[in-house]
Amino acid sequence: SQKIEQNSEALNIQEGKTATLTCNYTNYSPAYLQWYRQDPGRGPVFLLLIRENEKEKRKERLKVTFDTTLKQSLFHITASQPADSATYLCANNNDMRFGAGTRLTVKP
Amino acid sequence: KAGVTQTPRYLIKTRGQQVTLSCSPISGHRSVSWYQQTPGQGLQFLFEYFSETQRNKGNFPGRFSGRQFSNSRSEMNVSTLELGDSALYLCASSSEGLAGEKDEQYFGPGTRLTVT
């Protein structure tokens, strides 16, 4: 069956380091992937969209890559801060699939 | 621009009752999607409405239904509530690109439903 999977349930890193989150998809080829941030008790907030013909997209301290060979998207937060602590979700909007999310904790 | 609003924010119901949740999308957005979020299952797609028509449907029983009005506001209804329906129900609206692909979704704050 078609799936979007975020294999890490949780990721803990030290402030200032780069956080790297992984999103894998199986049994289909999404035209694009999106990344969202969700804080407890709130709805997800859109961060970045990357299309299959784009290798990389950046926005401030955020960077997303899309590797159609590996069927994977990586989401990086550089110079991480405690305020970056949240759950990050990847999604393909066209078929409404969301990954389970990775809960990132940045420790001071 | 005002964001997506959902009412009510919190709701407590008992098993067997029914509930109606409301969502007002961002002005100009014609696509409204509904999701159920639980700790165990994550974000699960319920259905999407576009111009008053259900365009996509997730894998939920018929007890879950929805509709969209001409002003794009949407409601979802859950009948014969079960304990397992306790969840955060999120509504999201989006515009569409020229090729029909969806732009990013804007989520509301959600309605926290507790079934006792």
**Mean pLDDT of residues grouped by 10 in chain B (116 residues)?**
92 98 95 91 90 91 96 96 97 74 84 97
Both tokens assigned to B57: 């449907």
Which of A60, A95, A54, A61 lies closest to A77 in space, CA to CA?
A61
Chain B residue numbers touching A32 (CB-CB < 8 A): 101
Q: Which of A31, A43, A96 sits opposite B108 (nearest CB)?
A: A43
In the 8-state DSSP scheme, what is residue B96?
B
Q: Where are the beta strands (DSSP E) in chain B?
A: 5-7, 10-13, 19-24, 31-38, 42-50, 53-57, 64-68, 74-78, 87-94, 106-107, 111-115
User: Given this model, what pLDDT does residue A55 score?
Assistant: 87
User: Given this model, what pLDDT does residue B84 score?
Assistant: 95
Query: CA–CA separation, B15 vs A62, rounded Å?
Result: 44
Both tokens assigned to B58: 């997730």
Does the beta-carbon distance from A45 to B107 stay under 8 Å? yes
Sorted by sequence, the CB contacts under 8 Å of residue B56 that are 6+ apart come out as: A95, A96, B33, B45, B47, B48
Does the beta-carbon distance from A94 to B4 stay under 8 Å? no
User: Given this model, what pLDDT does residue B105 score?
Assistant: 87
User: Given this model, what pLDDT does residue A61 score?
Assistant: 97
- Say if strands B10-13 and B111-115 run parallel, antiparallel, or are unpaired: parallel
User: Given this model, what pLDDT does residue A26 score?
Assistant: 85
Strand partners, A33: A50
Query: CA–CA separation, A29 vs B20, rounded Å?
Result: 36
Q: Which of B33, B104, B108 sits opposite A34 (nearest CB)?
A: B104
CA distance A63 to chain B (A): 17
- Is the CB of A10 inside 8 Å of chain B's CB atoms? no
Query: CA–CA separation, B25 vs B2, rounded Å?
Result: 9
Does the beta-carbon distance from B104 to A93 stay under 8 Å? yes
Residue ranges of chain A with per-residue pLDDT less than 50: none
- Is the CB of A99 inside 8 Å of chain B's CB atoms? yes
CA distance A104 to chain B (A): 16
| Cβ–Cβ under 8 Å, residues A48 and A33 | no
Residues of B (45-104) whose Cβ lies below 8 Å from A: 45, 48, 56, 58, 88, 90, 92, 94, 101-104
Chain A residue numbers touching B33 (CB-CB < 8 A): 96
Query: CA–CA separation, A77 vs B53, rounded Å?
Result: 39
- Is the CB of A86 inside 8 Å of chain B's CB atoms? no
Angstrom distances, CA of residue B18 to CA of B2, B14, B43: 29, 9, 22
Comparing alpha-carbon positions, the chain B residue that sits nearest to A93 is B102
